[in-house]
Each structure stands twice: as C-alpha cells, then as structure tokens.
Amino acid sequence: MLFSTRTLLLALATTALGHVTSPRRGRCAQDDPSESNIAEMERMAEDARLHPMVRVNASNATLELDIYFHVISTGPSVAEGNLGNGTLMNQLNVINKDYAPAGIKYTLRNVTRTVNAAWYGVTMGSAAEMAMKKSLRRGTYRDINVYFARLSGGVLGWCTFPEVNPTAHMRTRDGCVVASQSLPGGIKPYNLGRTLTHELGHWHSLYHTFQGGCTATNDRVEDTPAERGPTYGCPKTNPDTCTGARFPGVDPIHNFMDYTDDICMNEFTPGQVTRMFQAFARMRGAARGGYYPQY
C-alpha cells in the first residue's frame, strides 16, 4: 500500500493566522514515493540487514545541511502570513533539537519574503507551486528549501522524496512546503513546529510509519513496528493494530513519521537514522564527517 493523499479541511474563522480552528486532521499531502525510490529503499534495507557496518557508521556520522526559508504572504503583517524572524528562529531550533540525536544539523543560510496571493494558497503539484519554486529556490540538491504559506485544502504540508537521477523538474520542485500556522506558537495541536520535522523526514527519504500497513515490508525500516494506519491525538497507551508473531511491538505513536499531535512526537528509531544517512549518501551527496560505503 502506498501513501494516500490527505487533504482534510480546516475550518477557517477568519483569514488571520491567529483565528483558525483546527479539527483533527492528517499531517501531510505527501506524494506517493516513485517506483525508483521504493526500489532504492528496498536495496538500502537489504544493505543494512546484511552489512552491520552500515548501521555502525551511520550511528557515528554527522550531517550538516544548509537550509533556506521562503516566507509567502499576502501583505506585510503577521495576520497576512508574514512570519516574524523570531518565529522562524524558533522553528529552526525545533528541527535542530529533533534531529540532533540523529547527528543532523541545519544551518539557516537565507530568508526570502514574497507577497503573492496565488502562492500563498498553493496546492501540491500546481503551476503555482512550480512557479514559486522556480523563482525562489536556492542552493543545490543537497540543500533544503522550505516554503511557508497558508496552503489550500487545509493540509499541513508536503515534501519531496530524493531520487538517484533527478530530472531538472525534480530538482526545481525539491523541498518542503509547510503551513504557516504549524510553526511554534501556531494553532493547536500542531503548534510546536513538528510539521517541518515530519516533512523533513520525507526529504531524507523516510516513509510514514504506517506505510504498507500490516505487511512485512511496511515502511522499509526494520525497527519501526508495523502500523495499520495513522494514529491521531496522543493516546495514553500505545495501540497495537498489527498483531501476531509477524508483527512485534506496538504502534510507534511517538515517532516523528506518524500523524500524532506535536506534543506526542519525540523520536526517530536507529533504523530510520541509518536510512537517512544511506539515502543522503546515495541520492544527495556524501555526509560530511561520517561517510560510509554503499554495498
């Protein structure tokens, strides 16, 4: 089973950032991974299983990445989407804290601010998305571009998976689009900046924890327990939706790649860390300070 695009609606009281009612909803409108990406993930899973040094080297590696923030708004005020520098720095601090245990650090290189009503309500795969990214994107395929906007259809965001041989179109579209109201201080229960943490996981080639449901391959990471579907809210006890000897462990509701509330998310597994380093070395460029060979 591949990802299904989630576009659950927000109930908007006004257009101001501080006046949005947020019902329970999915986190992202993620593209389905391509066949080539899935094939690479399966190969990497086999590498990690057969070659223990892949895991050892990944656990000792570091990855330093440049990140560019692009703020899209309809005017100069915060109510019109023009996020303040303090909010952006708080968001940067969140992702650096969340990825620090994985040995990944993000350095903010530049912030752009653009007033464009069409881009402010951008939808995934639209002409507006491509125009926005073609105009604003900076850096190379190993650098991250994040676009903050209101988005349409109530989605929280989406991000692109890496490819071994990306086309010019893929390189232009590469990056993450994130709802402005999901940054720290935004709208509960997605108000701690964990939407970008989640979306960056996709940029690093992680799938949702419920990818594939109760199947042997599920998200192609060995140590994430299988999960029948996304978990919402923050359950007091972990549900166990895939049972039996074939599916050890309870649902990974605290994993950044599930759909739980921001306050509930706090971890990547060692296998996910290995996968992020594998994927970066194979598809984006060698990790600084800890490159390991591909078998």
Q: How far, in Å, CA of 216 to CA of 213, rounded?
A: 9
- Residue 235's CATH number: 3.40.390.10
Instruction: Provide the domain count of the chain.
Output: 1
With residue 111 as reference, give the H or E element that holds it.
Answer: strand 104-115
86 in a structural domain: yes
294 in a structural domain: no
184 in a structural domain: yes
Q: Which residues are catalytic?
A: 199
202 in a structural domain: yes
Per-residue pLDDT tens digits of the chain, which is 295 residues long: 233 333 222 322 222 333 233 333 456 776 777 788 878 878 877 777 766 666 656 667 889 999 999 999 999 999 999 999 999 999 999 999 999 999 999 999 999 999 999 999 999 999 999 999 999 999 999 999 999 999 877 789 999 999 999 999 999 999 999 999 999 999 999 999 999 999 999 999 999 999 889 988 888 898 999 999 999 999 999 999 999 888 999 999 999 999 999 999 999 999 999 999 999 998 998 544 444 444 3
291 in a structural domain: no
201 in a structural domain: yes
In order, the DSSP letters of 2-42 are ------PPPEES-SSTTSEE--S--S--PPPPPHHHHHHHH
290 in a structural domain: no
State the pTM of this model: 0.86
292 in a structural domain: no
Distance of CA 261 to the CA centre of its chain: 15
**Structural domain containing residue 183:** 11-283
